[in-house]
Each structure stands twice: as C-alpha cells, then as structure tokens.
Amino acid sequence: MGSSSSSDTPANDAPDLFRNESDALEKARAIHAHADADPQQCRVALAELIGHFERLMRETRRLIGRSDRAEREMHALTQQLQYRATHDALTDVLNRSAVIERTIKALRVDRAVMILLDIDEFKKVNDDFGHPVGDAVILGIVACLRRIVGERGAIGRVGGEEFTVLLPGYDLADALQLADEMRAAIGNHVFDAPVNRRITASFGVSANPARTDFDTAYGLADSALYKAKRGGRNRVEFADPQWVSAEMPGGD
C-alpha cells in the first residue's frame, strides 16, 4: 500500500479569502429561514453581514489604489529607463544608437539632411583645463544647438566632441543656412572662466534622398566635415558624392 503525497491535496483545501463574509451570509440565511425568526436577530445578522462586505469593499478599494499607484510608478520607471537608454548622460541629447535608429526611421519615408559637427581643437581645452571644464564647454555647445535648432531637428552626440543634427524633410539650401547659424552661435558664445578663448566648430552636411542607409548619410557628412577641417575649421561644407570616395576622414 503506497503512501499519499502532497500532490494528493485537493485544490479546494486552499484558504477561503471570503470565509468571514461567507460565514456571516450563512448565519443570516439560517436565521431568515426560520418562520418564527426574531426580527431583531435578523436585523443584527444583516447588519453584521453588511459590515463584513463594507470592510471587504474598503479593502478592495485600498488594494486597487495600491495597484494603480504601483502601475503608475512602474510606467514612470519604464519611461525613465527608455529615456536613459536613448539619451547621452551628460547632455541629454540623443546617444549614438538613438541617432542611428532615428535616422533610419526618417529615411525610410522621406529625404533627410544629416549635419555632423565637431568642436575644433577640443583636445586643447581638456589638456589645458581638465575634463570638467571640457564637459562645461560641451554643454555650452549643446545649448547653442538647441537654441538654433529648436523643434526642427533632432540633436545627437555620437562621440566625445562630435554631434549630429538630423533634419527630416529638409533640402540642402535650408540645411546649410541652419548649419551656418549654429556655427555662428557657437563662435559668438561666451564660455565661463577659465576658458579664455573662442570656441568654434566645423560642420559637414549631407542631403539624402529617402531610403538612403545610415552609413551612407553619415559617411557623406563625415567626408564634408573633413573638408571643413582641412579648409581651416569653423566652416560649413556639404558632401558631393562624386568626391567622397577619394577623401579620408580627418581629426581635430
């Protein structure tokens, strides 16, 4: 003869979460079932039953409220994590992976201009004043970009001192004008001490028809940026696909 195991426990042995309410209901039914039931007893039993269910409703509302709060907090946390996964920690502009994703999505449906800019001789700022001052310069640059670009485009940081501005639906002439406004704003910006020098940036612009892939759009802008660096910095250049293959990206 085999012994019984815990798996033989019937499912109806689970605790009854409404036992108090069930007992009160059965008590009220039992009293009401007698033809000679005392009306006072019936009222007492009914009041007891109502009290149990009012308590149950209060507890239910409390649990629902707690669940709603937990859901709101979870939603807020999810949004915060999604934001942090797509934005640069220092500047709060799009990070590199988000720039790539945003560009791919934009170019699936329409033309878009990619502007790539690099802070001129930024290494000297870090070498002379240290990285905290360099970070302050980067934040100043981003403030200039935001002031000029506004809601017209998406700003991203793709490297230490390298940024992109994506302009969906833009043509080249309008984008070049906007890039020059950004260049002038950066050149005229007064940075806090101890930075005692004018900070400038070089710009490369590529105009891309719909269905251009990211690497092509970025590569064109990068080649134009190299042309601006080689041409003396603090300039805006645009990419001509005819000469891109002959150029090699340059540095600072």
Catalytic residues, by residue number, are 161
The total of other beta-carbon atoms located within 10 Å of residue 7's CB is: 5
User: Rounded to 5 degrees, what are φ and ψ at 13?
Assistant: -85, -5
DSSP string, 68-107: HHHHHHHHHHHHHHHHHHHB-TTT-SB-HHHHHHHHHHHH
Q: Which amino acid is at 252?
A: D
For residue 108, the surrounding DSSP H or E stretch is helix 96-109
Dist. CA 29–CA 23, nearest whole Å: 10
Tell me the residue type at 157: R
Cα-to-chain-centroid distance, residue 42: 61
CA distance 38 to 179: 91
3-class DSSP string for 14-37? CCCCCHHHHHHHHHHHHHHHCCCC
Rounded to 5°, the CA angle 76-78-82 comes to: 115
